[in-house]
């Protein structure tokens, strides 16, 4: 049984690897690839840094990536930036649905607008975070790192900020919700925040924060 499982896993990995090589040719310039198959996006949740180009690859069926108007309720996704591609049908070889360069950070939701695909669960998200500035050392000592906790948080957030830098918290749409001069250890009451994903920027370091 173990041998069968291992063989099956290896087979799936090999197919995915071959598919990825093909996709790089199909979606020139893409840094990260998302695949459509059946009623799923794979992966259906990723985190990327600003300046990353995402490519969507259709491996079979009729699919697109729609980050503009939700196919479920007809309302805007309210993404930091909208993106949408035409539906394409694939029967034999994989094909590139389209590529998009993400430069505005925040949380993006999207779906496939093909018939009943979104209602069948073909929805996905990606989170764009700010890249670290070029002058930030790759290897920083532990005592110089900014720490935020607890994470997830529902009431009081603690931020340890060794360099006393400005603390900025952004919501999923990239809007500033809190900004102030920090102390070495700052407490922030987030009980009034809406639940979701936020971005905390301190001293050029960016971290994801989940408010419950």
What pLDDT is recorded for position 169? 87
Strand partners, 156: 189
Report pLDDT digits (tens) over 105-139.
Answer: 788 999 999 989 999 999 999 988 866 444 444 43
Contact 108, 126 (CB under 8 A): yes
Mean pLDDT of 88-96: 90
78 or 93, greater pLDDT: 78
Mean pLDDT of 57-62: 92
What pLDDT is recorded for position 10? 37
Nearest 10 degrees: CA dihedral of 126, 197, 165, 161?
-110
Report pLDDT digits (tens) over 24-53.
Answer: 678 888 888 999 989 999 999 998 888 889
Q: Mean pLDDT check: name the lowest of 5-14, 135-144, 185-194.
A: 5-14
**What whole-number distance in Å separates Cα of residue 156 and Cα of residue 149?**
9
Residue with tokens 């309210």: 78
Task: Let me know if the fold of 2-129 is the same as that of 142-211.
Answer: yes
What pLDDT is recorded for position 181? 79
What pLDDT is recorded for position 170? 85
Q: Does domain 142-211 have CATH number 3.30.70.20?
A: no
Contact 113, 64 (CB under 8 A): yes
Beta strands 45-49 and 123-129, pairing class: parallel
Fold of 2-129: Immunoglobulin-like (2.60.40)
Average pLDDT, the chain: 80
Contact 85, 118 (CB under 8 A): no
What pLDDT is recorded for position 141? 40
Contact 32, 53 (CB under 8 A): yes
Give the start-end residues of each E strand in 87-170.
88-90, 95-102, 106-111, 123-129, 147-149, 156-160, 166-170
Q: Please, which pLDDT band fits residue 1 given cuts at 50, 70 and 90? A: very low
Q: Nearest to residue 113, comparing CAs of 148, 77, 86?
A: 86
Structure tokens at 165: 């830098």
Contact 106, 170 (CB under 8 A): yes
Give the start-end residues of each E strand in 38-103.
40-42, 45-49, 52-58, 61-63, 88-90, 95-102
98 or 167, greater pLDDT: 98
**What whole-number distance in Å separates Cα of residue 57 and Cα of residue 187?**
44
User: Coil, helix or strand for 55?
Assistant: strand
> What's the longest Cα–Cα distance across the chain?
59
Mean pLDDT of 177-201: 85
**What whole-number distance in Å separates Cα of residue 6 and Cα of residue 106?**
38
Q: Where are the domains of the chain?
A: 2-129, 142-211
């Amino acid at each position: 049984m173990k041998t069968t499982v291992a063989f099956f896993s290896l087979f799936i990995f090999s197919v995915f690897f071959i598919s990825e090589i093909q996709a790089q040719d199909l979606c020139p310039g893409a840094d990260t690839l998302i695949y459509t198959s059946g009623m799923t996006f794979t992966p259906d949740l990723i985190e990327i840094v600003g300046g990353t180009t995402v490519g969507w690859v259709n491996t079979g069926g009729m699919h697109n990536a729609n980050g503009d108007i939700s196919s479920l309720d007809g309302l805007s996704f309210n993404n930091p930036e909208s993106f949408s591609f035409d539906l394409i049908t694939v029967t034999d070889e994989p094909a590139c649905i389209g590529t998009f360069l993400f430069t505005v950070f925040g949380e993006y939701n999207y779906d496939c607008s093909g018939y009943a695909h979104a209602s069948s669960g073909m929805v996905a998200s990606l989170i764009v975070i700010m890249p670290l500035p070029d002058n930030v050392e790759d290897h920083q000592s532990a005592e110089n790192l900014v720490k935020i906790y607890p994470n997830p948080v529902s009431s009081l957030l603690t931020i340890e900020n060794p360099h006393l830098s400005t603390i900025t918290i952004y919501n999923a749409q990239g809007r500033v919700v809190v900004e102030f001069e920090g102390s070495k250890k700052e407490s922030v009451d987030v009980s009034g925040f809406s639940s979701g994903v936020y971005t905390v920027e301190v001293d050029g370091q960016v971290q994801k924060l989940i408010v419950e």
